[in-house]
Amino acid sequence: MIANEKRSEIIATLCNNTKASANLVTKQSALLLEKRMGSLNEELSGYVNIVQERTQLLLARIEEIEQANALKTYSLMDSEEFLDSSHYILNELLSRTVIIIGFSEVISLDYADTLNDSQNKIIEQINKLGKALVSTFNDFGDKLRD
C-alpha cells in the first residue's frame, strides 16, 4: 500500500497533469471543429460536444478530489474506498482518452486528403497527447496495484 502522503502526492500530480491535458485536448478539438470540413462538421460537432461535456464533468470530479486531498479526507478513507475511487477516476480518464485518440485516427485516415497542414498538425498533436495520457494513466494504475 502507498503511504497516505505518497498517495496524496500522486493524486495531486495526476489531477494537475490531467486538468492541463484535458483542457489542451478540449481546446484543440474545438480548434479542429472550427476548420471547414464539409458535411463532417455536424458529426464531429456532436462528438466534440460529448467530449467537452464529459471533460467538464471529469474536471469537476478532479476538483472535488483535490479539495478532499487538501482536507486530508483520504487519510480517513479505508484502502478499499480509496482504490475504488481511484479506479473509477482512472477508468473515466482512460475511456475518454481512448475515444479522443480513436476520433483523431479516424479523421487522419478518412479525411487526410481534405485536411490542410494546420489541421493535420492539430490531429497529430491530439493523437500524441492522447497516447501520452494513456501512458500516464497506465503508470498510475500500476502504482495503484502495487
pLDDT in tens, 29-75: 777 666 555 555 566 666 677 777 777 877 888 888 777 776 665 55
Integer Cα distance of 109 and 129 in angstroms: 18
What are the C-alpha distances in Å from 138 to residues 38, 44, 63, 117, 132?
37, 28, 21, 32, 10
pLDDT at 43: 62
**81 pLDDT more than 70:** yes
**C-alpha cell, 73:** 479526507
In whole angstroms, give the CA distance from residue 46 to residue 36. 15
Given a contact cutoff of 8 angstroms between Cβ atoms, the answer to whether 114 and 38 are in contact is yes
Question: What are the structural domains of the chain?
Answer: 4-145 (1.20.1260)
Percent of the chain with pLDDT over 90: 0
Q: What band does 146 get if pLDDT is binned at 50, 70 and 90?
A: low
- Helix residue ranges, H only, the chain: 4-34, 40-70, 79-110, 117-145
Q: In this structure, what are the phi and psi dihedrals at residue 57, rounded to the nearest 5 degrees? A: -65, -40
